[in-house]
Amino acid sequence: MSDEFDPAAALYEHLAATEELPVEREAGWRLGEAQALAAEIADGGLDDATVARRADEIRTLLAEVDGTGDPDADDRVAAAREVATRIANRSDDG
């Protein structure tokens, strides 16, 4: 097992963790969309440009989530925003 941090897996995990939490309906819709995009990234096989686009779409969706109504979900959303930015920026540098 590698100790290397996998941002794509971490992004998906943060978003998937919100699935079972009691989030507000509007936030839940955006989180579901972001989770689907994160799953595509985490599955691999996408070129860097597509990964960057997906990460940017995730950032856009998460930017529209002002709050979820659940503090644990809010923490996961904040972490997912950071990781999505990291992925998009890494792909931009690439």
Residues 51/91, Cβ–Cβ less than 8 Å:
yes
pLDDT by 10s per residue, the chain, length 94: 456 789 999 999 999 999 999 999 999 999 999 999 999 999 999 999 999 999 999 999 999 999 999 999 999 999 999 999 999 998 555 4
Q: pTM for this one?
A: 0.90
- The residue extents of the domains of the chain are 7-93
- The one-letter amino acid code at 7 reads P
Burial class (CB in 10 A: 0-12, 13-18, 19+), 8: buried
